[in-house]
Amino acid sequence: MVDAPGVVDADPSFAELFRLATPKVESPRMSDIVVFGAGQIAEVAKVYIDAHSDDRIVGFTVDRRYAKADRFHDLPLVPWEDLEKFFPPAQVKLLGPLSYRRMNEFRRARYLEGKRRDYQFTSFIHPNSHIYTTEIGENCFILEANVIQPFVKIGNDVIIWSGNHIGHHSIIGDHCFLAGQIGIAGATRIGEGCFLGGKVGVTQGLTIGDDCFLSFGVIVSKDLQPGSVVVRGPPDRVAGYPSSRMRGLL
């Protein structure tokens, strides 16, 4: 688990109570890291890590067939198959692959392979997210403006893009990808390997099975079986009754 990057709240008394109630977790020391990837997301990751992390990127890696050059952003780009020759496990940590390719299966496979090859993995959590949990796994990439409420648990190998809300007591399983502006209500369980597109909404207390695909903008209001696909239907319609009817429901 990694330490939360600090609680920021308008009410200092609440922040102090949270600090006192949270177990002490020693902040990790600076690590040299190798990022798996040499595309746009890897470029974005380098900007964020250079600006906001104590870790230092010392190289990049991709599968051999994609290693078309020996440098990427002025750093070594080496074949994944030969990584130990250039960056032994005792010298670096890994981050990535920063990809949702094949519904996160590619990232899952390379992460587990890296573990078998004795590599450790780091995480990046943007300091401008509001994190109220320390239950965050390794090889996570969490960008800015996320709100992650108390008692949330986030597994290993999870990517959370910008501007999401993850409600209290929710669980995000290993190997998930969350795009931007997603709202997950409290006490919700997102299974392993799920892909949530931008502006998805998930209502309170649901269970989303493993390997589900939730398309851009869908609203989920019932449990989903593993492997479910939810896509947007016809354009949202305007109801034929006034909003005053909603007062008995809200």
Q: What angle do CA 189, 193, 196 make, to 5 degrees?
A: 70
DSSP-assigned letter for residue 245? G
pLDDT for 230 equals 92
Query: What does the pLDDT look like over 129-173, one tens digit per residue?
Result: 999 999 999 999 999 999 999 999 999 999 999 999 999 999 999
pLDDT for 229 equals 93
Structure pTM? 0.85
Residue 33, beta-bridge partner list: 57, 93
Residue 237, beta-bridge partner list: none
SS3 84: helix
Residues of 52-84 as b/e, b for ≥16 C-beta within 10 angstroms? bbebebbbbbbeeeebeeeebeeeebbbbeebe
Question: Structural domains in the chain?
Answer: 32-121 (3.40.50.20), 125-233 (2.160.10.10)
| Average confidence (pLDDT) per 10 residues, the chain, 250 residues | 47 49 50 97 98 97 96 98 98 97 96 98 98 98 98 98 98 98 98 96 97 94 93 73 67
DSSP-assigned letter for residue 214? E
Helix (H) or strand (E) holding 15, with range, is helix 12-21
Residue 130, beta-bridge partner list: 147
Helix (H) or strand (E) holding 72, with range, is strand 71-72
How far CA 219 is from CA of 111, 139, 184, 185, in Å, comes to: 30, 28, 10, 11
